[in-house]
Amino acid sequence: METNDETLRVLRVVEGTSVDGPSLRTSIYVAGCRHACPLCHNPQSWDMNGGERRSIDNLMQVIAYNESPVTLTGGDPLYQPVAVKELVHRIKTELGYNVWCFTGFTWDEIVADPALLDTIREVDVVVEGRFVNSLRDTSLLFRGSSNQRIVDVRSSIDARRLIEWKRDGWESLDDFKI
């Protein structure tokens, strides 16, 4: 895995989006993914050298300016664990914003790998798992296929088992209205 604690290789930053988690958010599309899910919706994001290097300071300025919760997506942010961990830590300690992270790693893979678990420890919610086209379901909330789960990170670590994130009344996209 690439490790860099000063910069993050980023494809783009989308400010004020509502599709990558609840409420308007700042979404950071992190470059690079090696999961190679068949029929991935975004194969141009796989290049580990794609996008551009952005400093953590620069990303923090954008996030602070928008005064919104944050989503890390990609690509797969967990292929740049050191920089992602630093960014999440700074968001939580300096701004206190809610953070979601989309990853192709499953929750079981994350908890089995101390480096991955350390990376997401301060994330609020992880949306986990590869995209499986045979399980594709466009009605799912924030997921592409039904194998993927929305994980409440703090509760899951404390309970030592996966606890899914639930928001009253938000079980599917049909319920998600802003």
Residue number of the CB closest to ligand SF4 reads 104
Told to check if 35 binds ligand SF4 by CB under 6 A, we report yes
Query: In angstroms, what is the minimal distance from the CB of 57 to ligand SF4?
Result: 26
Main-chain phi, psi angles of 7, to 5 degrees: -135, 155
Distance CA 163, CA 90 (A): 25
Distance CA 7, CA 86 (A): 10
Biggest distance spanned by C-alpha atoms of the chain: 42
Distance CA 161, CA 139 (A): 26
Q: Which of residues 131-160 bind ligand SF4 (CB under 6 A)?
A: 131
Told to check if 42 binds ligand SF4 by CB under 6 A, we report yes
Told to check if 36 binds ligand SF4 by CB under 6 A, we report yes
Closer to ligand SF4 by CB, 16 or 43: give it. Answer: 43
Query: In angstroms, what is the minimal distance from the CB of 103 to ligand SF4?
Result: 7
Distance CA 170, CA 57 (A): 34
Question: Which residue ranges make up the site for ligand SF4 (CB under 6 A)?
Answer: 33, 35-37, 40, 42, 45, 74-76, 104, 130-131
